[in-house]
Amino acid sequence: MAEQADLIIFGARGDLAGRKLFPALYQLDYCELLSPKTRIVCVARDAMPRETFLESLQPKLQSQIQPERWTEQQWQKFASRIVYVHLDFNSAEDYVRLAAELHCAVRIYYLATPPSLFGPICQALGEHQCLNDDSRIVLEKPIGHDLASSVAVNETVAKYFSDENTYRIDHYLGKETVQNLLVLRFANRFINTQWDQSCIDHVQITVAETVGIEGRWGYYDKVGQLRDMVQNHLMQLLCLVAMEAPNSMTAESIRDEKIKVLRALRPIDENTITTHTVRGQYAAGYMGGQPARGYLNEDDCTVEQSDTETFVAIKAHIDNWRWAGVPFYLRTGKRMAEKLTEVVISYKALPHNIFSGNPASNNRLVIRLQPNEGIEMRMVSKLHSLRDRMALVKQDLNLDFLGSSAMGRIPEAYERLFLDVISGDQSLFVGREEVEESWRWVDGVVEAWKRQNMEVRKYQAGSWGPAKSELLIEKDNRSWHG
Ligand SMILES: NC(=O)C1=CN([C@@H]2O[C@H](COP(=O)(O)OP(=O)(O)OC[C@H]3O[C@@H](n4cnc5c(N)ncnc54)[C@H](OP(=O)(O)O)[C@@H]3O)[C@@H](O)[C@H]2O)C=CC1
Ligand SMILES: O=C1O[C@H](COP(=O)(O)O)[C@@H](O)[C@H](O)[C@H]1O
């Protein structure tokens, strides 16, 4: 069981808190993984009694928990941990009231707010006696809007929290299957020794979502898919696929290796931007047979035109010995045909095909991160037949993680990450340098888009993105997996 802590959630009435943070904390409580003394101090701007806050939280939370895990008794136990503090972010008095509610030696401030508030909140916490010797800060992604703003946020945070006490979340790192990438690569000799440009033809990373931007339009339209997803989640996946083996599983060793990958990413500039990237925006279409709105017709959309991308495809290169000549094709988008996160490692054909009459066939390793978490290995084997002397077939070895999970369910990322913050383990959190290196590369893409005035191409909701994204890979005689 984790040690006792005050978990103070800023933005407790927001989307992230409601959809991810409270369900994760409920699950930890259900599994008896939280100390009985741990309290959840919920901070938001509206003044209301604690009971009113709980009344609004309860149905939302219940709708996200498996019925067999929800009982009145369990809910009451969870609710008894909750304290509600209304706070105007600019009011000194309110911070003093907040400090008076804190009792544990470990204070964990979780900022589930827009990143523009990270600096001001840290400053106010520091100035109004809310910090003790073991106060930790958890920052949600994205940290900043570009390199300059990210540096500014990190500088302000660093005045009040040491780096050891700063936890930068990228919730993809908390996903069990993402952590499994490390295990797959560094605990299996036969995979490890076939993991470079001599064997691998190319890598694909797809993070496709079916959700649109409903309810988050105001935030998203200023950000776009490149900053919302590529700068953080896709870059982290790319690092885990491409990095060298860390010396150990410490945060420092892992970060050191990821930074080298980010530094080796070839910049995309105005000369390569049109051949190496595609931007898209969803238009009306169909999702699961039902009509779906376009981005510009979402309820909270306030403009007639927007140049914000909801889809990005990128052909990236990592300029080092291991990956020379191996393209990494990345794509991510909202309102796509399926929810799917996968990494596909496509192997080179063998140098000579002795099975004449059969096309040379490539092996492929598909690492499915969500849903249906598992691994598929495409092999070639003989078709059992007397008629065909030597016909070959492609067959998939399939490993299903859910089937092999000791828990019968795969824990959500935020469950792991909360436990790690409480126990002080930073190995699944992102270092400052990583965040900044990633921004440096992404800023280059944004700048090149501007210089080339690169338009967003419309794609139908429920499709796999703009047709141009197929071309991005097909012009290299390859195709997206799926
Ligand atoms: N939603 C998601 O799926 C994900 C979100 N994130 C990140 O998590 C953070 C929170 O996201 P999300 O919950 O969607 O955000 P919301 O827009 O729902 O905002 C969260 C809370 O922040 C407070 N807030 C917003 N604007 C202001 C303001 N100008 N001044 C004071 N308080 C303000 C509000 O608190 P109040 O209720 O008190 O008004 C609001 O409830 C963001 O940094 C986001 O990028 C990261 C991964 C996924
Ligand atoms: O960080 C974010 O992630 C979600 C996708 O997370 P997932 O765990 O459901 O894959 C994305 O919808 C959101 O826009 C982004 O801010």
The rounded Å distance from CA 19 to ligand 2 centre is 11
Check residue 90 and give its pLDDT. 84
Burial class of residue 256 (count of CB atoms within 10 Å of its CB; 0-12, 13-18, 19+):
middle
Q: What is the dihedral of CA 203, 209, 214, 216, to 10 degrees?
A: -40
Q: Are residues 224 and 322 in the same domain?
A: yes
Instruction: Tell me whether residue 424 is in a domain.
Output: no
Q: Are residues 114 and 187 in the same domain?
A: no
Beta bridge partners of 287: 290
Q: Are residues 348 and 458 in the same domain?
A: yes
Whether the pLDDT of residue 30 is over 90: the answer is yes
The rounded Å distance from CA 133 to ligand 2 centre is 33
The rounded Å distance from CA 18 to ligand 1 centre is 10
> With pLDDT > 70 as the criterion, what percentage of the chain qualifies?
98
Q: Do the annotations mark residue 382 as ligand-binding? A: no
Burial class of residue 144 (count of CB atoms within 10 Å of its CB; 0-12, 13-18, 19+):
buried
The rounded Å distance from CA 322 to ligand 2 centre is 30
Is the distance from the beta carbon of residue 60 to the nearest atom of ligand 1 less than 6 Å?
no
On whether the CB atoms of residues 112 and 140 are closer than 8 A, the answer is yes
Per-residue model confidence as pLDDT tens digits over 277-289:
999 999 999 998 9
Atom of ligand 2 nearest to the CA of 233: 1
Instruction: Tell me whether residue 81 is in a domain.
Output: yes
Structure-model confidence comparison of residues 397 and 449, the more confident one: 449
Beta-carbon contacts of 74 under 8 Å, excluding residues fewer than 6 positions away, are 26, 29, 30
On whether the CB atoms of residues 209 and 334 are closer than 8 A, the answer is yes
| Side-chain-side CA neighbours of residue 410 (13 Å) | 19
Check residue 382 and give its pLDDT. 87
For tokens 């139908």, the residue is 460
Instruction: Tell me whether residue 152 is in a domain.
Output: no
The structural domain count of the chain equals: 2
Atom of ligand 1 nearest to the CA of 111: 9
Atom of ligand 1 nearest to the CA of 228: 45
Q: Do the annotations mark residue 339 as ligand-binding? A: yes
Beta-carbon contacts of 160 under 8 Å, excluding residues fewer than 6 positions away, are 122, 123, 125, 126, 131, 137
ipTM above 0.85, yes or no: yes
Instruction: Tell me whether residue 151 is in a domain.
Output: no
Most confidently modeled of 197-201, 387-391, 403-407? 197-201
Q: Are residues 186 and 135 in the same domain?
A: no
Per-residue model confidence as pLDDT tens digits over 357-376:
776 667 899 999 988 888 99
pLDDT band at 275 (very low <50, low <70, confident <90, very high): very high
Q: Are residues 258 and 313 in the same domain?
A: yes
Whether the pLDDT of residue 104 is over 70: the answer is yes
- Report H helices in 243-279: 251-264, 273-276
Among the bound ligands, name the one nearest to the CA of residue 222. Answer: 1
Among the bound ligands, name the one nearest to the CA of residue 332. Answer: 2
Q: Are residues 136 and 177 in the same domain?
A: no
Final residue of a structural domain among 140, 157, 188: 140
Q: Do the annotations mark residue 388 as ligand-binding? A: no
- Amino acid in position 358: N
Check residue 87 and give its pLDDT. 94
Q: Do the annotations mark residue 420 as ligand-binding? A: no
Per-residue model confidence as pLDDT tens digits over 416-443:
999 999 999 999 999 999 999 999 999 9
Q: Are residues 179 and 33 in the same domain?
A: no
The rounded Å distance from CA 452 to ligand 2 centre is 28
Whether the pLDDT of residue 273 is over 80: the answer is yes
Instruction: Tell me whether residue 309 is in a domain.
Output: yes
Which protein residue's CA is at the shortest distance from atom 16 of ligand 1? 14
Final residue of a structural domain among 89, 121, 140: 140
Q: Are residues 314 and 439 in the same domain?
A: yes
Among the bound ligands, name the one nearest to the CA of residue 87. Answer: 1
Whether the pLDDT of residue 450 is over 80: the answer is yes
The rounded Å distance from CA 403 to ligand 1 centre is 35
Is the distance from the beta carbon of residue 228 to the nearest atom of ligand 2 less than 6 Å?
yes
Q: Are residues 246 and 336 in the same domain?
A: yes
For the annotated catalytic residues, the residue numbers are 233
**Domain extent at residue 107:** 6-140
Q: What is the CATH number of the domain that holds 33?
A: 3.40.50.720
Whether the pLDDT of residue 118 is over 80: the answer is yes
* Of the candidates 334, 141, 341, 138, the residue with the CA atom closest to the CA atom of residue 221: 334
Cα separation, 258 vs 52, in Å, equals 45
Residue 273, token pair as written in the block: 């931007």
Is the distance from the beta carbon of residue 219 to the nearest atom of ligand 1 less than 6 Å?
yes
Instruction: Tell me whether residue 163 is in a domain.
Output: no
Instruction: Tell me whether residue 108 is in a domain.
Output: yes
Strand arrangement of the beta sheet that strand 457-460 belongs to: 392-400, 374-382, 364-370, 340-347, 200-208, 328-333, 311-316, 277-283, 457-460
* Of the candidates 213, 237, 204, the residue with the CA atom closest to the CA atom of residue 330: 204
Is the distance from the beta carbon of residue 165 to the nearest atom of ligand 1 less than 6 Å?
no
Whether the pLDDT of residue 1 is over 80: the answer is no
Is the distance from the beta carbon of residue 170 to the nearest atom of ligand 2 less than 6 Å?
no
Atom of ligand 2 nearest to the CA of 211: 12
Structure-model confidence comparison of residues 356 and 328, the more confident one: 328
Which protein residue's CA is at the shortest distance from atom 4 of ligand 2? 229
* Of the candidates 153, 234, 111, 179, the residue with the CA atom closest to the CA atom of residue 436: 153
Per-residue model confidence as pLDDT tens digits over 206-265:
999 999 998 888 889 999 999 999 999 999 999 999 999 999 999 999 999 999 999 999
Per-residue model confidence as pLDDT tens digits over 390-410:
888 888 888 887 666 666 688
Cα separation, 142 vs 111, in Å, equals 12
Q: Do the annotations mark residue 89 as ligand-binding? A: yes
Instruction: Tell me whether residue 422 is in a domain.
Output: no
